[in-house]
Structure 1
Amino acid sequence: MQYKRFVNAIVCLFIVGAGLLSFFLILSGARDSGTLKNFYWFEADTSGFNDAPDVTRWYNYMYCGYADHETYDCSDKGADKPFSPKDNFGESPNMPRTFIDHRETYYYLSKVGWAMLLISLFFTVLAIVPIFLSIFKLARPLSITTCVLCWLSWFFITLAACLYTGCYAKAKNAFHHDDRHAKMGAKNFAFLWTTVFLMGVSSIWTMIDAITRRKEKYNKYRTTDVYSDTEVVGAVPPVESQPSSGRTFFRKLRTKKHETPAGVMAEEESHEKVVEGVQT
């Protein structure tokens, strides 16, 4: 079963990779300088939105102005900073109308998407432990547990990807409708959908592995059960069959048939002796 260990090692790398990508997505926006400033969710032309910068980038924990490849005038940092131009800059006549009329849509899509991302990372970390232990034979294979955890992680990361994509795709269309520049963060969304792919492949393989292990265990149990039954039957001495009532009846009947001619012959001999005595 070397090929299974090899595939399990690859799947373990997939799960670890998905966990690292998810962790990096959560870190994006933690700092407004260095490499992390290039990992954003959305960039748009926000000129004329009250005191907003000309170009704004939205991160996980803040939004910042962006010019000359540098960020500036960043907002206060907070966990799960929602995407909502109305809440970020206040209502403005220059703002696309959808951000005012449907403010809750963008607000809650980004908020719930962040929550799903965190839940997915939690299940991803949990899934790494049993598959890692099974590869190095440090514990009994927990294939069903790994399968369930992988599918849960895949479900929540897919939900997060759909929510984030839906939120910022709608926002991009709204800005483009008003002839404003807008684009989604290519790196963040590439990481996000790559994580979906990695967890999807891992979930399918762990399900196949769980089914095959279950089948092998069942076949082994059946084989052991058959062997044990054969040994028990061979060890038991043969039991003599007891005659049934029907057999006893017919046996007695046959005995009587055999005994009847002897009795008749005895009576005939005694009768002849009596006759001879009389004649004498």
Structure 2
Amino acid sequence: MNKFFTSLGPFVLTAGSTLLLLLVLLSGTYDHTPLDELFYLEADTSGISGAPDTSRWTLWNRCSVRDGDNYGCTSNKPAYPFQPQSNFGTTSGVPSDFISNHKTYYYLSRFAFAFYFIATGFSAFAFIVGVLALCSRLGAGLASFFSFWALITSATAVSLSIATAIKGRNTFQNAGYNAHIGVKFFAFSWAVVAILLLSYVGFTLACCLGRKKNRHLGDLSDEPVMAEKSKRKPFFRRSKRDKGITDGESQEQVMIAHDEEPSSHPTYSVPSENDTGVPPLNNYEERSSFERGSFRPFQPRNERLSNEPVAV
């Protein structure tokens, strides 16, 4: 399968996740659609002194509501803490749980912003490196790495923000106020998690499928190369196998040539035990190097006596 088309799907998904993360991260910062429609919690605050009838909380500020959109937002502040008593500057009418457990809401909301910010950075890096993934395994591996961490950080951010929203909603409702979480905000957030999961799997497959198969597992693409290498002989010396075959062939050719040519060397008779009274020699004996002009393999003495001519 072509690497370009294998990595194209994860690349497009990463672009989508980066766009959604930017929308979630910048929610409430501008009075324009869709940013003015995103919030993680909306509650009835008419019973709180100095607060509007309905309030919405985003990652950057607190807003009022007009025609279903964010309106009259406070100045943008990164990691805006969710603390109604601090947000409105009063404790009158504020549910008691917000006051007694103010640190819990404070750290949940602020860490949620931090992880959204980190997730956006990882997703952006995965998108940029994804361009290299269209043509190389290295790019796919790097994009898979950044997609993985974008997935982890975004899932953490969504978990923290939804914990903040649900805990705040329950506290408002227990105090008799109407409250609900932002559907679009968390729909975009969970969509980011799902998209990054698919993107991570896609880049990982693009990286792994491009790797060459092991020839021991049936890949025949390297067999011609291996066969060509096996035909090559050592440059400075011959292998033991080739040397043995060559020497054996040469020795055989020399012996045949000497057998065909008449011997110019004199023959010598070998005295027997009856003539000399000397006991016979061992079964294996080295023959004269001058005999027939070459060396021959060792033979038993009895066989040599039967094969060699005896001078009379």
The TM-score, its normalising length taken from structure 1, stands at 0.79
Q: 1:239 aligns with which of 240, 243, 265?
A: 243
Native 8 Å contact 1:29 1:60 kept in 2: yes
Q: CA deviation at 1:163?
A: 0.8
The answer as to 2:235 corresponding to 1:190 is no
Whole-angstrom distance in 1 between the partners of 2:308 and 2:193: 102
Superposed CA deviations along residues 158-191 of structure 1, whole A, max 9, x for unmatched, are: 1111111111011111111122111111111111
Q: How does 1:209-228 map to 2 (within 5 A)?
A: 209-214=206-211, 216=212, 218=214, 223=220, 226-228=223-225
SS of equivalent to 1:66: strand
Moved more, 253-262 or 49-58: 253-262
Supply the RMSD in Å over aligned alpha carbons.
Answer: 3.1
Superposed CA deviations along residues 174-233 of structure 1, whole A, max 9, x for unmatched, are: 11112211111111111111111111111112122222112x36559x756543332233
Question: Structure 1 vs Structure 2: percent identity of aligned residues?
Answer: 26
Whole-angstrom distance in 2 between the partners of 1:249 and 1:234: 42
SS of equivalent to 1:49: coil
Native 8 Å contact 2:63 2:72 kept in 1: yes
Whole-angstrom distance in 1 between the partners of 2:232 and 2:119: 57
Whole-angstrom distance in 2 between the partners of 1:90 and 1:185: 24
Q: How does 1:162-177 map to 2 (within 5 A)?
A: 162-177=159-174
Q: How does 1:1-280 map to 2 (within 5 A)?
A: 1-2=1-2, 5-32=4-31, 35-69=34-68, 71=70, 73-90=72-89, 92=91, 94-135=93-134, 137=135, 142-214=139-211, 216=212, 218=214, 223=220, 226-236=223-233, 238-240=242-244, 253-254=298-299, 256-260=301-305
Whole-angstrom distance in 2 between the partners of 1:144 and 1:173: 43
Superposed CA deviations along residues 105-160 of structure 1, whole A, max 9, x for unmatched, are: 1111111111111111111111112322443x4x6652211111111111111111
Pair member with larger Rg: 2
Native 8 Å contact 1:33 1:71 kept in 2: no
**Count of aligned residue pairs for this structure pair:** 258
Whole-angstrom distance in 2 between the partners of 1:168 and 1:72: 20
The TM-score, its normalising length taken from structure 2, stands at 0.72
Superposed CA deviations along residues 212-258 of structure 1, whole A, max 9, x for unmatched, are: 112x36559x7565433322332337322579xxxx98985415343
Native 8 Å contact 1:60 1:79 kept in 2: yes
Whole-angstrom distance in 1 between the partners of 2:203 and 2:189: 21
Q: CA deviation at 1:77?
A: 2.3
Whole-angstrom distance in 2 between the partners of 1:149 and 1:264: 92
Native 8 Å contact 2:42 2:179 kept in 1: yes
Which stretches in structure 1 are left out of the alignment for 5+ residues?
Answer: 270-280
**CA gap 1:229/1:185 in 2 versus in 1, 3 angstroms:** same
Amino acid at match of 1:106: Y
SS of equivalent to 1:254: coil
SS of equivalent to 1:48: coil
**CA gap 1:204/1:99 in 2 versus in 1, 3 angstroms:** same
**CA gap 1:233/1:5 in 2 versus in 1, 3 angstroms:** closer
Which stretches in structure 2 are left out of the alignment for 5+ residues?
Answer: 249-283, 287-295
